[in-house]
Structures are given as C-alpha cells and as structure tokens.
Structure 1
Amino acid sequence: MWPWEHAAVGYLAYSLFCHTYYRESPGGLDAFAVLFASVLPDLIDKPLAYQFGVFETGYALGHSIFFAVPFAIFTGVLARQLGYSRAGLAFAIGYLLHLPGDFVPHYFRGTERFHVVLWPIADQPDAGHSHGLYDFTMGYFVDYWAALTTGDPPTYLLIQTGVVAFTLLLWLYDGAPVLRECLAAVGDTIESLSR
C-alpha cells in the first residue's frame, strides 16, 4: 500500500469504530494519532533502509509483528495513564493495521508477502532502493500516478483509490478532525491578538 492508503485504512477503521462504539466522530487528537501511527512503520523503516543503510529493505523493525504488538500495547497503556485512552487506542489501530496493509493486497494479486512482518526471523528481500529516501518517495508518486492514468488501471488500484476517496468523504462528514482543531486554534490566536 502507498502511505496515503495506509492513512485512509487506519482512519476509516477508527472512524467506523468511533461511530459504532462511542456514537460520535473521532476527535482531533485521536484522528492525528491514528493517521500518524498508520504511516509510522514506514517512517521508521524506509529512512533507516534507503537513506542510512541500517536495514537492507524497508520492511524491518517498524513492520515486525514482534515489535509492533508490544509497541502498540505500551503506547496504549502509556496513553491511558496520561488520560488519553482514545488516542492510545487510535494509535494501536493505525499502527497494527499497517502490517496487514502491506501483505493482504499482494495476497489478492497472487503474490504472498507475509514474511514482511516477520523481521528478524524471516528473510526480507533486498528491494534494491539504493538511491536514497527522496528517490524512493518520488518513486511512490510516479508509480502510483502512472498506474492510475493508464488506459486500463488495475482493479486493485481502483479499489484502493475508491477506499481513499470514501475515507476522505467520511473525514469531511466527521467534521475534518485535526484540520478543525488547527483552524480553531488559529482563530483563537487571531482573536486574542486582536484584543
């Protein structure tokens, strides 16, 4: 999955949970937590692999189920202790949904990639991205746009793009959390400065 798809899946799952369990939309802090956590495995592994050469591939520590589960539990417990239970839950949902997001779509396309969440006990293929993080990131956008704008884009890509579009509409329905809080803070700042 591309990073924006991870963010969409994480937000979609958390928002649906909020509407079902809490009977309300996500708040700004928990929306930020789920969005940040949903891309955090890539923020950990991709720079360490493609920019600094710590790992041979972008699927290592951050994507490992052996790190992800204890990390999500620790973050949830810490958030609860600090009085931010919903943000801790949102973080865990976003982080843990990233992992299947990296192998489930490949399974439906006929390629098995479960090993990407088994670092360090499973061998990870060398992705061959030795040109640095910037080139790797730009490759994401170029590949995505090229696949989307072909005369006949793959079905999986249309489905993933549809999920992103639906999630964007859901986010707007939810009142655009995070953006809403940022705009309110700017408005409060302007109001206090004008007094």
Structure 2
Amino acid sequence: MWPLGHVAIAYLCYSLVARTRYERPPDHVPAVVVVFASLFPDLVDKPLAWYLGVLPTGRTLAHSLLVLVPLVLVVGLVADRAGYAAVGVAFAIGALSHALVDALPALWGGTDPSFLLWPALPVESYESGSPSVLALLADSLDDPYFLSEFVFAAIALVVWRRDGYPGLAPIRSRIQR
C-alpha cells in the first residue's frame, strides 16, 4: 500500500477508537502521531533496504510484528506514564495497521506475509538492487487494491473534516496570525 492509503486507514481506525473509547473526536497530538506511525514502518525499512542495503527488502524490520509489538508496548507504556495514553494508542493503531494492511494482499495471493515474522521467517531479497518508485507506481495503476486507497482517502478526508481537522490547529493558528 502507498502512503495515502496507510494514512487514511490508520486515521479512520483511530477516529473510531477515539469516538468509542474517549467519546470525542481525536485530539490534535494523537492525530499527528497516528499519521506519523502509519508511515513509520516505511520510513525505517525503505531507506535501510533501498538506499543503504542493510535490510533484504523494504518490508522487514519495522514491518515485523516481532519488532512492532514490543515497540508499541514500550511507546504505550511511556506515553501512559507521561499522561498521554491516547498518544500510545495512536502510535499502536498507526504502526500496526500499516503492517497488517501491507499483508492483506496475501489473502488473494498478492504478497508473501512472511515479513510479519521477520527475521524468524525468511523474506526474499531484492534481485537487482532497489526497486524504482516510478516502476512500482506504474505497476500499481491497474490494481484494484491501489485504487481502493483513493476511496479510503476520500472517506478519511470526510471523517477528518467531521472531526474538526485534528492535527491542523497548530498550522491554522500560525496562518491566522
């Protein structure tokens, strides 16, 4: 999945949790955290694999539940002790939704979900260096899974508006000055 889809799905999940658990729309800081966390696995794995060659693929270390689950627990514990439990929940939803959504195509044979348990399960290394982002995009254009990201983004935009644009307040206040 591309960044747009990860952000949209994570925000929709967090908005639902905020409304059911906290009985209000998401606050500004957790909204920003869920966006960051939804991109976190790619922000770690892609550069380490594609540009530094340290990881075998762009879905290994930060996509692995063997790394993500302990990380989410530590972030949640630290956030809770600091009085920001919602931030820990936002990080957990963003990071875990990313890995799980990346594994979804395995249901129809579109990807190998072994990255979820890397390094306990092996992953196939890139055959010839790092992939081209433009080539990946071109390959995705006729994929219904890719096209669904725009539907999720549209829904997330409507929900974000309904929620009062959380995460945008600091930017809005600077613009209004």
Q: TM exceeds 0.5?
A: yes
Please name the residue that 1:48 is paired with.
48
Matches within 5 A, 1:59-78: 59-78=59-78
SS in 1 for 2:161: helix
Q: 1:50 touches 1:136 (CA, 8 Å); kept in 2?
A: no
Q: CA deviation at 1:137?
A: 3.9
Please name the residue that 1:174 is paired with.
163
Describe the shift of the 1:157–1:48 C-alpha distance in structure 2 as closer, same or farther (beyond 3 A).
closer
Runs of at least 5 residues in structure 2 that lack an aligned partner in the other structure: none
Quick one: percent identity of the two aligned structures? 35
Please name the residue that 2:117 is paired with.
118
Amino acid at match of 1:113: D
| Whole-angstrom distance in 2 between the partners of 1:2 and 1:176 | 22
| Whole-angstrom distance in 2 between the partners of 1:137 and 1:112 | 18
Please name the residue that 1:88 is paired with.
88
Describe the shift of the 1:157–1:112 C-alpha distance in structure 2 as closer, same or farther (beyond 3 A).
closer
> What CA deviation, in whole Å up to 9, does each residue of 1:41-78 have, x standing for no partner?
00000000101111121112111111100000100111
Q: Which has the larger radius of gyration?
A: 1
Residues matched between the structures, number: 177
Q: Which structure has more RCO (C-alpha within 8 Å, separation ≥ 6)?
A: 2
Please name the residue that 1:160 is paired with.
149
| Whole-angstrom distance in 2 between the partners of 1:68 and 1:20 | 24
After TM superposition, the score normalised by the length of structure 1 is 0.82
Q: 1:129 touches 1:136 (CA, 8 Å); kept in 2?
A: no
Please name the residue that 1:193 is paired with.
none
Q: CA deviation at 1:160?
A: 3.0
Runs of at least 5 residues in structure 1 that lack an aligned partner in the other structure: 148-152, 191-195
After TM superposition, the score normalised by the length of structure 2 is 0.90
RMSD between aligned residues: 2.0
